[in-house]
Structure 1
């Protein structure tokens, strides 16, 4: 559940916000992946989970070569793929996004770099400030054996180079993706003054633009 729904006190929120600002206002400088997925004709799909899907969606909607981003749930069944049920943290779903991208303009490895550097903190386990629970876990749902190979190799590369202060918690998982309710789609653009968006997601988008100016549109 979102921080507001959890009923966190304003002092706790402010403290967590201050901690997040130190990390979220800049992209973590990480190397490009040594391996990549070979370009294929037509649009390709990538599915990433890493905290609230509102902010993840907002970042990737501004990446050149991305044609669309859909917020949804991955890792559980269709029967429990609703916000009310996923929020119980008993359905095995993760809040996730499905990215449709043109591999002639942006590669899978480049999307991974944005994902690890600025879209979320890949070292957090079962949560992303200020949201906690397995539905906010860091996970990659590879859409092909090649995507799985590249993602696994990149995680090993980043861990080996100690790009982050802590080990990467991101797991490769399997499972279907189910679109979230209509009110979750394009939430950032439709609700720019929402307190959660102002506090957590606008700094994340600003960090992406600052850290990856050649990729931003």
Structure 2
């Protein structure tokens, strides 16, 4: 959402943005994960980056088995984990979400399937339309070796299956996660009529519900 600050977007109508049709109105049909992380007792954490964290949060907070979703920054340092600094595109951070979930209800591989098929376009490099810059890159930040292995194997599986018309740009990275400012948290839920949410994120949520009716509510 860097192309217009939140306050500026809220002051204009959707039509005034003069932007092309959304690209995430339907989920991309992709295969399930062949090699998944085995379920374990207790809650688990996943950290995913795929464009503006408002939309990523809006999709994953509706997933059955997900307990909480926090918007934040991953890949840089604690000192630079603020929206103003990350927006300079010089901190190394990506806008990301931290998902806390019950792996006995929804697996890490299932979260990755949603991530690749509907939450964002994994073929876009250093951006996620309409936002551009490395802070909007497609990246997975595994929280343990099993997640890292599953992520790499799934990217290879989707590549072999030619699931997308262009190469997958998603990188598997390392780095800590830092929560974003309070005004970013639950943004789509708190601001359902916000022009950015209506234009770019509501179609993603609708597509997720249509493609995964038993998983996304």
**TM-score when normalising by structure 2:** 0.94
Deviation by residue 1:52-98 (Cα, 9 ceiling, x = unmatched): 00000000000000000000000000000000000000000000000
Match of 2:18 in 1: 14
Give 1:159-178 correspondences, 5 Å limit: 159-178=159-178
- In the alignment of these two chains, the number of paired residues is 213
Structure 2 unaligned segments of length 5 or more: list them.
none
Say which SS state the counterpart of residue 4 (structure 2) adopts: helix
Say which SS state the counterpart of residue 209 (structure 1) adopts: helix
Alignment RMSD (CA, Å):
1.9
Residue 204 in 1 paired to residue 208 in 2?
Answer: no
CA shift for structure 1 position 12: 9.6
Say which SS state the counterpart of residue 68 (structure 1) adopts: strand
Say which SS state the counterpart of residue 18 (structure 2) adopts: helix
Separation of aligned partners in 2, 1:120 and 1:40: 27
Match of 1:122 in 2: 122
Match of 1:43 in 2: 43
Say which SS state the counterpart of residue 143 (structure 1) adopts: coil
Residue 111 in 1 paired to residue 111 in 2?
Answer: yes
Say which SS state the counterpart of residue 117 (structure 2) adopts: helix
Structure 1 unaligned segments of length 5 or more: list them.
none
Say which SS state the counterpart of residue 164 (structure 2) adopts: coil
**TM-score when normalising by structure 1:** 0.94
Match of 2:139 in 1: 139
CA shift for structure 1 position 214: 1.1
Separation of aligned partners in 2, 1:15 and 1:69: 28
CA shift for structure 1 position 14: 3.1
Match of 1:148 in 2: 148
Deviation by residue 1:1-26 (Cα, 9 ceiling, x = unmatched): 52323999x9994343x1xx2x3110
Say which SS state the counterpart of residue 158 (structure 1) adopts: helix
Q: Which has the higher helix share?
A: 1
CA shift for structure 1 position 101: 0.3
CA shift for structure 1 position 41: 1.2
Separation of aligned partners in 2, 1:193 and 1:152: 37
